[in-house]
A and B are shown apart, each in its own frame.
Chain A
Amino acid sequence: MEEAIVAENLVKRYGNVEAVRGISFRVKRGEAYALLGPNGAGKTTTVRMLTTLTSITSGEAYVNGHNVKTERLAVRRSIGLVPDISNLYEELTVEENLRFMAKLYDAPRERIAELIKDFNLPAGMKFGKLSSGFKRRVTIAAALIHEPEVLFLDEPTTALDINSAKAVRGLIRLLNKRGMTVFLTTHNMLEAETIPQRIAIIRGGKIVAEGRRNELKKLVGRRILVRLSVEPITSSLLKKLEPYKPAFEEGGIVLEVDEPDEFLRFIFSLRSELGFRIDHICTELPSIEDVFVELTEGGCPCGGCPL
């Protein structure tokens, strides 16, 4: 099978709460895929269903070709999970924790030393005494003990400071580059911008958009922004810029354009015509944050959830 993860119409109900309402997606082998969504969107629930930690109310899921509902042990053998909290044994040292995981997964003992070295871990420290950043690293290392084909990470950098988060992101990218399939949930924009090749935006238990970053960015109504700073600003210049809805911000004029190439040609021809000086000009694509805000703000499209 070419796909590492297949989800078909997954639904999870807790009593009256429908946490996930029929989501479908496919993640290719070696791909990094992110589920991006606000609090309570159903990200953790989705990960828990795919990793056999919670039952699937309805729908089908396959991980590495194994049916999640009927081949739970096979699924477990082929995945690594970094849960939303770092949950290793506090009284055991880093090395003891890894040794225990190696036994649980029948991984060779050499793996322990390898991970300690690769991740630069304090082997003799008790897990409970580590900083959040190091706890996260050890938790990721523990998930890799058996070199799983697919790695699930639930909000891997939440509660980390800037540098630790950066290190963890680098680590995930590296793993993905080496060929590991990565499935990650996040509400961190930087993470969504830098790690996954494809993103699904989830909200109220439903996927509201899915695609590569550029594809998602095209979904937002807003066009490309041009920041322009010229001297002098004359009324005849403003008149010419009228169609681009100029707005004044600190340091210049902000305009909305469809075709940056066309616009640049236009502005340079204006310069020869009106004789102003361009101090600064730059274009700006909408960010994933813009996409996220646009797709997840306001009343939920499903109409039924509290979001």
Chain B
Amino acid sequence: MKILAMAEKELREYVLKPGSISWGIVFPLVFTLAFAIRFGDVDHLAPGLLSISVLFGTTSFVSSSVIFERRLRTFERLLVAPVGYFEIVLAKVLVGSLFGLFVGFTSLLFLRPFTVYGVWNPWLLLLFLTLSAMCFSGLGLYIALIVENPINAMTWLNLIRLPMMFTSGAIVSLLLFPHWFLAVGLATPMTYSVEGLRFSMLHYYDVVNPLYSLLVLLILTLLFLYLSTSRLENLY
């Protein structure tokens, strides 16, 4: 119940903050549209673009809420209340994921006119979208909690997000890079989101079997939840 209350508060308070809007909604949608208009049929790009939208949507929302809360010190309200650190983390990840799903579905709508094939398996797509959103929310939360000065969170995030767009094979398939680059690809959390989405939408994958993608996304989500919780414990 407290998790839901915290999640509802987050949505009301932060959906309209500049960080959520610019990096969380405008950037991914403009990016998606730009690719769609430039290349016409974007069936093979669609999973990557979708993953990028979810990545930017979730991380921007979560980190901008944490930045505001740490700067205005409303965060201390949660820390001094009788709620567990894990509940606080879950609430953040929950709203981040919802926001990410919203941005993801909007991207999907934008992409629809530029794709020839329909989605192969909508339920699998929903599963991978949700897992991606949770994993990326956890990542965004962890980054926003470890930076000393919350103002720097966006900069740090972009240092991670922008390279991931390439090392995950979201835009150019990992198969087209030199062989050694595959290692970089496999070390990129986003790769598993792109591969999972690709399988659910197009019924094929480039490098990672969808079952592994599912597993890795799940493990990464739990890892980020754990890291964020223990960071909160030591932040106090």
- Given A96-B12, A103-B2, residue A51 in contact with residue B73 (CB < 8 A): no
Binds B, one of A77-85, A169-177, A184-192, A265-273: A77-85
State the interface size on chain B (CB cutoff 8 A).
22
Binds B, one of A52-60, A158-166, A194-202, A255-263: A52-60
- Given A52-B236, A91-B13, A104-B2, residue A83 in contact with residue B82 (CB < 8 A): no
- Given A89-B9, A91-B12, residue A104 in contact with residue B73 (CB < 8 A): no
- Check A88 against B74 for contact (C-beta < 8 Å): yes
Is B159's CB within 8 Å of the partner chain A? no
Q: How far is the CB of A6 from chain B (nearest CB, A)?
A: 19
Q: How far is the CB of A57 from chain B (nearest CB, A)?
A: 13
A-contacting residues, B57-89, CB 8 Å: 72-74, 76-84
State the interface size on chain A (CB cutoff 8 A).
25
Is A25's CB within 8 Å of the partner chain B? no
Contacts of A77 in B (CB 8 A): 82
Per-position 1/0 for B27-42, Cβ under 8 A of A: 0000000000000000
- Which of A53, A92, A100, A105 has the largest number of chain B CB atoms within 10 A? A100
Is B1's CB within 8 Å of the partner chain A? yes
Contacts of B74 in A (CB 8 A): 87-89
Please list 14 pairs of residues, one from A and one from B, whose beta carbons are closer than 8 Å in the complex, sorted by A's number. A79-B80, A81-B80, A83-B73, A87-B77, A88-B74, A88-B77, A90-B72, A91-B12, A91-B13, A96-B12, A100-B9, A103-B1, A104-B6, A104-B77
Is B5's CB within 8 Å of the partner chain A? yes
Chain A residue nearest to B1 (CB atoms) is: A103
Contacts of A101 in B (CB 8 A): 77, 81
A-contacting residues, B77-114, CB 8 Å: 77-84
Q: How far does the alpha carbon of A155 sit from the alpha carbon of B118 in the complex, in Å?
A: 62
- Given A100-B5, A103-B1, A104-B2, residue A53 in contact with residue B82 (CB < 8 A): no
Contacts of A100 in B (CB 8 A): 5, 9
- Check B72 against A103 for contact (C-beta < 8 Å): no
- Check A104 against B72 for contact (C-beta < 8 Å): no
B-contacting residues, A77-123, CB 8 Å: 77, 79, 81, 83, 85, 87-92, 96, 100-101, 103-106
- Which of A85, A96, A104 has the largest number of chain B CB atoms within 10 A? A104
Contacts of B72 in A (CB 8 A): 87, 90
- Check B80 against A92 for contact (C-beta < 8 Å): no
Contacts of A90 in B (CB 8 A): 13, 72
**Count of A-B contacts with CB under 8 A?**
60
- Check A53 against B80 for contact (C-beta < 8 Å): yes
Contacts of A104 in B (CB 8 A): 2, 5-6, 77-78, 81-83
Is A1's CB within 8 Å of the partner chain B? no
Contacts of B236 in A (CB 8 A): 52-55
- Check A103 against B76 for contact (C-beta < 8 Å): no
Contacts of A91 in B (CB 8 A): 12-14, 16
Is A73's CB within 8 Å of the partner chain B? yes
Q: How far does the alpha carbon of A88 sit from the alpha carbon of B80 in the complex, in Å?
A: 13
Q: How far does the alpha carbon of A100 sit from the alpha carbon of B77 in the complex, in Å?
A: 11
- Given A55-B236, A89-B74, A103-B2, residue A76 in contact with residue B12 (CB < 8 A): no
Contacts of B82 in A (CB 8 A): 73, 76-77, 104-106
Q: How far is the CB of B65 from chain A (nearest CB, A)?
A: 11
Q: How far is the CB of A155 from chain B (nearest CB, A)?
A: 14
Contacts of B73 in A (CB 8 A): 83, 85, 87
Q: How far does the alpha carbon of A53 sit from the alpha carbon of B70 in the complex, in Å?
A: 13
Chain A residue nearest to B74 (CB atoms) is: A87
* Sample of 12 further A-B pairs with CB below 8 A, known A53-B79, A79-B80, A87-B72: A52-B80, A53-B76, A55-B236, A73-B82, A76-B81, A76-B82, A87-B76, A87-B77, A92-B12, A96-B12, A101-B81, A104-B81
Q: How far does the alpha carbon of A87 sit from the alpha carbon of B74 in the complex, in Å?
A: 5
Q: How far is the CB of A298 from chain B (nearest CB, A)?
A: 34
Q: How far does the alpha carbon of A286 sit from the alpha carbon of B76 in the complex, in Å?
A: 39
Q: How far does the alpha carbon of A87 sit from the alpha carbon of B76 in the complex, in Å?
A: 8
Contacts of B16 in A (CB 8 A): 91
Q: How far is the CB of A19 from chain B (nearest CB, A)?
A: 15
Per-position 1/0 for B2-30, Cβ under 8 A of A: 10011001001110100000000000000
Q: How far does the alpha carbon of A87 sit from the alpha carbon of B13 in the complex, in Å?
A: 13
Q: How far is the CB of A55 from chain B (nearest CB, A)?
A: 7
